Structure formats: structure tokens, C-alpha cells
Structure 1
Amino acid sequence: MGVTKEDVEAAITSALSPSHLVVTDTSGGCGASYEIEVVSEKFEGKRLLERHRMVNTALSPHMAEIHAVSIKKALAPAQASPAPAPAPAGARRR
């Protein structure tokens, strides 16, 4: 049996204490390929490459059985918050 989605979620949760985590098995159920979106305070002040390394380190016990990992998002909470919408052109401020 390969690595399960729950195994991946548990490994990332244990290492990074994410406020948001989405793990998608893209292998058709065999556990060989995953897409990951993660938001963690532990990413604060880290560059993208460092964040990806942190995710890969969290998954290192399972990497021998995983064929591919695609980290779609690895964000600090401030980066994950939506930016305020700009005022429409011609709108008056009060």
C-alpha cells in the first residue's frame, strides 16, 4: 500500500501546523502523486524555495513511496489573505 492522503496531511500538519491545508491525490488513488496547498506561520519571512524545502522535509519519511509532489501554494498567512479590492474608477471617497 502506498502513502495515503491522510499520511501526507499528518506529516505536514505535524511539521508546519498549517492554518490551511489542501492535499489532493492526483495519482488516481495509488498514493504516488500529490498536489499540496499549505498556509503556515512557519513560512513567515522565508523565501519560496525555503518554504518548498520545509514541505519536502516534512514529507521526507514518505518520499521513497511518492512519485511526484506538486506544491501549488506555500504561503505565510499574510500572503494568503485577500488584498482589499481597489475602489472602482471614478468612485468618490467620503
Structure 2
Amino acid sequence: MAMEAADIEHLIREAFPTARVEITDLAGDGNHYAATVTAEEFRGLNRVRQHQLVYAALKGKMDGSNGELHALALTTKAPE
């Protein structure tokens, strides 16, 4: 089951309302995306923790073979 880029962005924005979010569909199949998320909430956190927070914001959409989203390449950072 595929997922729309707008749905991914919506879930991330729910968790990080002031974040800058850029979603790119890498394969055109609705299953392989790249996301860049720039959020103040990431300040002082290591990259692993930043990614954990984004995955949590996706509310299980990437969980195992039943997930709606197969692959998400993440770039996360705090604003400069």
C-alpha cells in the first residue's frame, strides 16, 4: 500500500509544527521517499535521536511488512 508525500509531511508537521519539511518521491511508486526535516526540537540531539523522533511521528506507517511506507531516507538537523 503506497503513501502520498503530503501524508508523510502532515504526520511530521503534527509532531514538529514549525519544522521545514521537504519530501521527495525517489522512485515514483509512493513507497520510497527522502525527507529533510529541519526543526528546533532537534537542537542538542544526536542524529539517531532526531531520526527516532521522526519515525515516532510517522505513527507506525513504517512498521514491518504491514507498513504503508517502505523506505524513507532521512536528513535531520536543527536550524542554523
**Which range, TM-score by smaller chain?**
0.7 to 0.9
Identity among equivalent positions (%) equals 32
Equivalent residue, structure 2, for 1:87: none
Instruction: Judge conservation of contact 2:24–2:35 (CA < 8 Å) in 1.
Output: yes
Secondary structure of the structure 1 residue equivalent to 2:10: helix
Matched length: 76
TM-score calculated relative to the size of structure 2: 0.84
Alignment of 1:1-80 (within 5 A): 2-28=2-28, 30-63=29-62, 64-71=67-74, 73-77=75-79
TM-score calculated relative to the size of structure 1: 0.73
Alpha-carbon distance between aligned partners in 2 of 1:18 and 1:36, rounded to the nearest angstrom: 15
Structure 1 runs (4+) deviating above 6 angstroms are none
Instruction: Judge conservation of contact 1:36–1:69 (CA < 8 Å) in 2.
Output: yes
Alpha-carbon distance between aligned partners in 2 of 1:54 and 1:39, rounded to the nearest angstrom: 12
> Could you say which structure has the larger radius of gyration?
1
Alpha-carbon distance between aligned partners in 2 of 1:34 and 1:17, rounded to the nearest angstrom: 20
AA in 2 matched with 1:75: K
Structure with higher RCO (Cα < 8 A, 6+ apart): 2
Gap runs ≥5 in structure 1: 82-94
AA in 2 matched with 1:74: T
| Aligned-residue CA RMSD (Å) | 1.4
Cα displacement string for residues 29-86 of structure 1 (whole angstroms, at most 9, x for unaligned residues): x210110101101111111100011111111332201111100x21111xxx3xxxxx
